[in-house]
Amino acid sequence: MFFVKFRKIFLGVSVALIIASLLILVKFPLKLGIDFSGGSLLEIKSEKPLKKSEIKEVFSELEIKEVEISESEKGHYLLKFKSISEAEHQALLSKLKEKFPEVSQERFESIGPSIGEELKRKSLFAGILAIILIALYIAFAFRKVSRPVASWKYGIITILTLFHDVLISLGIYALYAHFKGTVFDSKVVVALLTIMGYSVNDTIVVFDRVRENLRKMFSQKSFEEILNLSIVQTLPRSLNTSLTTLFVVVALLILGPKTIFPFAIVIICGIIIGTYSSVCLAAPCLSFLKRKK
């Protein structure tokens, strides 16, 4: 009865984590990536090390006042500044080459503010739509289970654990972003949406087992016993699947290109939190919602 017995402790831990995440998000708000806020990103490669102050000089000559410079990998510099036209871009490149002949452009993105607004709207819409579809599907899939917990309550809990997973992952990422200077961009949104799918996937497997066990042994065992049994039965699967998924994401983190670092970090958090919530939170919480006999 381990999982159901300690459900209040698990719930407490989760509430604490959520509050901590909210605090982190307030204290270290995430900076929007240029794909959301509009702006330019120029990645240059140089054989020789470049001085930040010298790069800044080039920008001030072109009357671009604010420029953020970071070295992403050895010899790779990321420059972030306001959105510029193609003519300004070419002027900037030729000035840079004049000053540092060994520099070459690796990547350039310039995104107008209107595109950013659009992407913001689309991402929000995508998130809301995903939640609605998932909730509807779960209510449908569990429509035949109504004793002792109504089918829509499975849906509610699934959605709550989804918020739990997304929020805590986002909180951890905000902490990471604060110290590493990364931003909230469309890749992070994609990662969050993937976590949503994963979180629900994980929770559903446990609930499926609850549904099955309720059908088989509702008359012999208490609801709490059935819940605990279902969790124990699905535990190896939950852990193993998380482990295999972690293998590939960690491989991405170690060997993959730096640009997908934030993506990998968010997914890793999501998998760990998602596994925790589906094992320790989702089914134990069902017992809170049980109808009084």
Partner 1 sequence: MNRYLKPILIILFFISLIFVAPDLVNFPLKKLNDFFHLNLPYFPKKDFSLGLDLAGGTHLIYKTDLSKISKKDQDDALSALRNVVERRVNLFGVKEPKVYIARVQNQARLIVEIAGIKDIKAAIEMIGKTPFLEFKEERDPEETQEILEAQKEGKRLDEDPYFKSTGLDGRYLKKAWLDFNPTTGEPVVSLKFNKEGAKLFEEITERNVGKKVAIYLDGSPISIPVVKEKISGGEAQISGEFSQKEAKELAERLNAGALPVKIDLISQQTIEATLGKEFLKKGIMAGGLGFLLIIIFLLLYYRKLGFYGVLSLMFYLGYLLGLFKLVGVTLTLAGIAGLVLSIGMAIDSNILIFERIKEERKLNLPEATAIKNGFERAWPSIRDANLTTLFVCIILFYLTESLTKGFALTLGLGILMSVFCAMVVMKTFLIKS
Distance CA 155, CA 235 (A): 21
Interactions with partner 1, residue window 137-176 (CB under 8 A): 137-138, 141
Of 10, 79, 169, 202, the residue at the interface with partner 1 (CB under 8 A) is 202
Its sign, for the CA torsion 110, 114, 117, 123, is negative
- Whether residue 45 contacts residue 106, with contact meaning beta carbons closer than 8 Å, is answered with yes
- Whether residue 153 contacts residue 288, with contact meaning beta carbons closer than 8 Å, is answered with no
Minimum distance from CB of 23 to partner 1 (Å)? 28
- What is the total count of residues that contact partner 1 (CB under 8 A)? 69
133 in contact with partner 1 (CB under 8 A)? yes
223 in contact with partner 1 (CB under 8 A)? no
182 in contact with partner 1 (CB under 8 A)? no
106 in contact with partner 1 (CB under 8 A)? yes
Distance CA 4, CA 19 (A): 23
Minimum distance from CB of 69 to partner 1 (Å)? 18
Of 85, 98, 147, 218, the residue at the interface with partner 1 (CB under 8 A) is 85
118 in contact with partner 1 (CB under 8 A)? yes
Minimum distance from CB of 257 to partner 1 (Å)? 5
* Binding-site string for partner 1 from residue 251 to residue 270, where x marks contact by CB under 8 A and - marks none: xx-xxxx-xx--xx--x---
Distance CA 82, CA 64 (A): 8
Interactions with partner 1, residue window 234-253 (CB under 8 A): 234, 236-237, 240-241, 243-252
Distance CA 119, CA 186 (A): 8
Tokens at residue 91, please? 């002027």
215 in contact with partner 1 (CB under 8 A)? no
- Whether residue 204 contacts residue 158, with contact meaning beta carbons closer than 8 Å, is answered with yes
1 in contact with partner 1 (CB under 8 A)? no
Minimum distance from CB of 233 to partner 1 (Å)? 7
Interactions with partner 1, residue window 38-77 (CB under 8 A): 43
Of 130, 139, 150, 156, the residue at the interface with partner 1 (CB under 8 A) is 130
102 in contact with partner 1 (CB under 8 A)? no
Compute CA distances 217 → 113, 148, 212, 220, 285, whole Å.
Answer: 59, 13, 9, 5, 20
Minimum distance from CB of 236 to partner 1 (Å)? 5
Distance CA 158, CA 34 (A): 33
Binding site residues, partner 1, CB under 8 A: 43, 85-86, 90, 104-112, 114-115, 118-119, 122-123, 125-126, 129-130, 133-134, 137-138, 141, 186-187, 190, 193-194, 196-198, 200-202, 204-205, 208-209, 212, 233-234, 236-237, 240-241, 243-252, 254-257, 259-260, 263-264, 267
